[in-house]
Amino acid sequence: MGKIHSIETFGTVDGPGVRFVIFFQGCPMRCLYCHNPDTWDFDGGQDMGADELLERFSRNHSFYRTGGLTATGGEPMAQLDFLTELFEKAKALDIHTCLDTSGILFPGEAVSADSPDAGEVLGRVDRLLAVTDLVMLDIKHMDGGAHKRLTGHDNRNVLAFARHLDALGKPMWIRHVAVPGITFQKEALRRLGKFLKTLSNVEKLEVLPYHAMGKIKYDSLGIKYPLADTPQLTKAEAKEAEEMILHAWRED
């Protein structure tokens, strides 16, 4: 059984086409701009099985012919075995599978690279990736220290995951939230572009403008919103950020 926060039956922004979007419960990250703090708690959500989720998908199957199923969160890879079962059963039904992840759990935060368990964990990740058609990787910040201040974790696992996906030739979309004073900075954006230049599997870049629409959830949960004094980014500024990344990505 998986811990599921919620389901969106007609998602249009979490992968190609119209999608059945499953929000997994639980996340180790504490991003300052997170708009789903209600997904953090690993003990929350409702217990659901893969067959039940796919039965719900089948109710509107005709709408998903150019789309498919997306696992997001929270952090779906925190429930690796359940996620793999879900995607394996989805692929058996010829359903397009998309994983929306921060990559923070590659190869597993509790497993060091030289641990005897590292190979086993990597094997489990690769079993998941074998039935994953597309990975949407959310790169929060290219600087390790800034990434830790922003999320509570450094970015080594995230960048390693991106390189691993590249080595496998797994199609990948990159997502990046532009936040005034944090990630909406020329050098940080250029570093992201230069990193993307080292990868051959990136099909799309999505730069999302920071917004404070999730603040109401913090209020309802009794949590102080950490970016209360941060201005929201305009769409024009987000486009400017995207152009800075693309310029560094494409320059000789």
pTM: 0.93
pLDDT at 209 over 80: yes
Over residues 19-27, mean pLDDT: 98
pLDDT tens digits, one per residue of 37-51: 999 999 999 999 999
- pLDDT, residue 117, reads 64
Residue 238 has pLDDT above 80, yes or no: yes
**Mean pLDDT, residues 64-88:** 96
So what's the pLDDT on residue 116? 56
**pLDDT(171) > 80:** yes
In eight-state DSSP terms, residue 110 is T
In the chain, the percentage of residues whose pLDDT exceeds 70 is: 96
Local structure of residue 61 (DSSP, 8 states) = G
Separation CA 105–CA 29 (nearest Å): 10
What are the tokens at 70? 């997306």
- Mean pLDDT value of segment 233-251: 95
**Tokens representing 82?**
């359940």
Sheet arrangement for strand 97-101: 46-48, 2-11, 19-24, 68-72, 97-101, 134-138, 172-178, 202-209
Please give the Cα distance from 14 to 99 (Å, whole number).
9
The structural domain count of the chain equals 1
**Residue ranges with strand state E in the chain:** 2-11, 19-24, 46-48, 68-72, 97-101, 134-138, 172-178, 202-209
Is there a cis peptide before residue 107, judged by omega within 30 degrees of 0? yes
* Residue 220 lies in domain: 2-250
Average pLDDT over residues 209-236: 91
Q: What CATH number did the domain enclosing 149 receive?
A: 3.20.20.70
The percent of the chain in helix, strand and coil, each rounded to the nearest 5, is 40, 20, 40
Query: What count of other Cβ atoms lies within 10 Å of the Cβ of residue 178?
Result: 24
Please give the average per-residue pLDDT across 83-107, as a whole number.
Answer: 97
